[in-house]
């Protein structure tokens, strides 16, 4: 399991980087852009950008901490509880629901705040930029189909077999679905094992 802790400041910077390039967008497109950016970074460098944990939901991978964060900020039900000073850091975020002829309104998010690029490495920015270029113009259905990759399939299969609460997508399978080399997969596996040992000793 992914033991890297999500970093709220890096999550904010990554979201703002996407919003500054794409403009107002729905959660679905935002999450898929983040997913493919994280996958690229795993394949190339052996780590995710934010450390968020992806869950294989019906319409594709969803970064769980980011989703809870946005739901909390938008006043929706969320399992996340944010201190007031942390919530204020996201005061530039705007939320609304768009009716696109679908059964349920689509949650949208926007912000004019510039991302703090000190929170993102050059490689983070490169992978985010590549994912934005590849995915920003894809439709809801195209993004859903594209994100139903082998990592998503494996997590959904595990959910069905074990009857567990949520279908967690492991970093190794995400990287594998992105065609990572065997050397990089081994590196990710060893790094995750080390992080687990560190977490267990704390």
Per-residue pLDDT of the chain (202 residues; tens, 9 = 90+): 444 557 899 999 999 999 999 999 999 999 999 999 999 999 999 999 999 999 999 999 999 999 999 988 888 665 656 677 777 889 999 999 987 666 778 899 999 999 999 999 999 999 999 999 999 999 999 999 999 999 999 999 987 776 566 789 999 999 999 999 999 999 999 988 877 776 677 6
First to last CA, the chain: 17
pTM listed for this prediction: 0.90
* DSSP letter assigned to residue 5: P
Residues in the chain, how many? 202
Tokens of 81: 């509880």
Q: Are 22 and 29 in contact (CB under 8 A)?
A: yes
Smallest CA-to-CA distance from 47 within 149, 182, 180, 188 is with 188
The single-letter DSSP state of residue 114 is P
Q: List Cα–Cα distances, 20 to 23, 30, 136, in angstroms.
A: 6, 12, 12
């Amino acid at each position: 399991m992914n033991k890297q802790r999500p970093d709220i400041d890096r999550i904010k910077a990554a979201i703002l980087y996407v919003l500054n390039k794409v403009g107002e967008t729905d959660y679905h497109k935002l999450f898929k852009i983040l997913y493919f950016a994280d996958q690229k970074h795993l394949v190339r460098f052996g780590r995710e950008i934010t450390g968020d944990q992806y869950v294989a939901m019906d319409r594709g991978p969803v970064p769980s901490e980011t989703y809870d964060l946005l739901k909390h900020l938008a006043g929706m039900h969320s399992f996340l509880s944010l201190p007031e000073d942390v919530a204020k850091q996201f005061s530039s975020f705007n939320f609304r629901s768009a009716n696109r002829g679908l059964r349920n309104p689509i949650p949208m998010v926007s912000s004019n705040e510039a991302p703090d690029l000190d929170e993102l490495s050059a490689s983070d920015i490169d992978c985010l930029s590549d994912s934005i270029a590849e995915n920003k113009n894809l439709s809801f259905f195209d993004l859903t189909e594209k994100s139903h990759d082998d990592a998503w399939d494996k997590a959904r299969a595990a959910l069905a077999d074990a009857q567990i609460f949520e279908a967690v997508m492991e970093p190794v399978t995400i990287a594998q679905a992105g065609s990572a080399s065997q050397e990089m997969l081994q590196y990710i596996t060893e790094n995750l094992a080390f992080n687990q040992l560190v977490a267990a000793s704390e």
